[in-house]
Amino acid sequence: MSRTSPLDPTELADLARFAESQARLGGGMARDQIGSVTAERKGDASVVTQADRAVQHAILTAIAERFPEHAVLAEETLVEPDRHGVSGPSDYCWVIDPIDGTRNYARGVQTYVTSVGLLYRGRPVVGALYEPPRDRMFVAIRGGGAMLNGMRLPLAPDRPIDSDTTIAMSTLNGRALTPVMRQWIESYVFRNAGSLCTHLIWVALGWVDGAYSTQAKLWDIAAGALLVEETGGRFTDPNGGPIWPIDPSKYTGADMPLVTGTPTFHAELLRSLV
């Protein structure tokens, strides 16, 4: 389990309820629009829809009304940058991914997640991930465990490495497959859901033993990393170093390569990366 947050447990529970309400709100909006949206290309060639923008704006509006002193960081362009943005000193920063798995979503594939995470002094303390197609709500609180639809999640099983060991890896988006990644695909069962948040949920549930990404963004992992940690998993950079704390006011969308998984498999992945 992760270390206890310096925040009061009552405050954390209140923040978690708010995060859950906003993930559910945004995910419901996305579910209502799937199949009727038009996809566009952003400057980095990634996909965005009007649903991504609408969901993000709704969540950021709620944050501005409830916590006007908190900073925010979100994947899509801000509609009201003067109201919604990282500005001024704040110990708190909400990190929003309105629809993780937009390529899936834009093509009608029912695998996508709305993610709402809260950083306190650069570390995730609350995370809510909602899967609208399955009506599954995951909530994690630092030091307080993780829940699925209100039921406490057990620690993910730390299985020995064998022929059933499974790794989830994200799309490379035109980048070359490295020798070690090719080795993993040949050695382990391989999965790709088209959504990094989904991969992190799978790790937390014990459905896969680990996950790797070379192109993760902060909004992809702010909630999901905490979910993994609170179910007993490890979450580091490819050198085994800590990802947190991070200064969100200085984050400009850079890739955040990560290795995550059960203690046994995470250690094995790090050894193979040396």
Domains 9-152 and 166-273 share a fold: no
- Lowest mean pLDDT, pick from 6-20, 66-80, 184-198: 66-80
The string over 221-257, giving b where at least 16 C-beta atoms fall within 10 Å of a residue's C-beta and e elsewhere, is: bbbbbbbbbbbbbbbbebeeeebbebebeebeeeebe
Instruction: Over range 33-61, report the average pLDDT.
Output: 90
For 213, list phi and psi in degrees, rounded to 5.
-150, 135
- Both tokens of 261, joined, read 């998984």
Euclidean distance between CA atoms 139 and 207, whole angstroms: 18
Architecture of domain 166-273: 3-Layer(aba) Sandwich (3.40)
Domains of the chain by residue range: 9-152, 166-273
Rounded to two decimals, what is the model's pTM? 0.94
Do the Cβ atoms of 60 and 96 come closer than 8 Å? yes
- Lowest mean pLDDT, pick from 44-53, 91-100, 158-167: 44-53
**pLDDT over 70 at 82, yes or no:** no
The pLDDT score that the predictor gives to residue 4 is 47
The pLDDT score that the predictor gives to residue 46 is 82
The pLDDT score that the predictor gives to residue 86 is 53
CATH 3.30.540.10 assigned to 9-152: yes
Do the Cβ atoms of 60 and 72 come closer than 8 Å? yes
Percentage of the chain modeled with pLDDT above 90: 83
Instruction: Over range 131-153, report the average pLDDT.
Output: 98
Query: Within a 10 A sphere around the Cβ of 258, how many other Cβ atoms?
Result: 24
**pLDDT over 70 at 65, yes or no:** yes
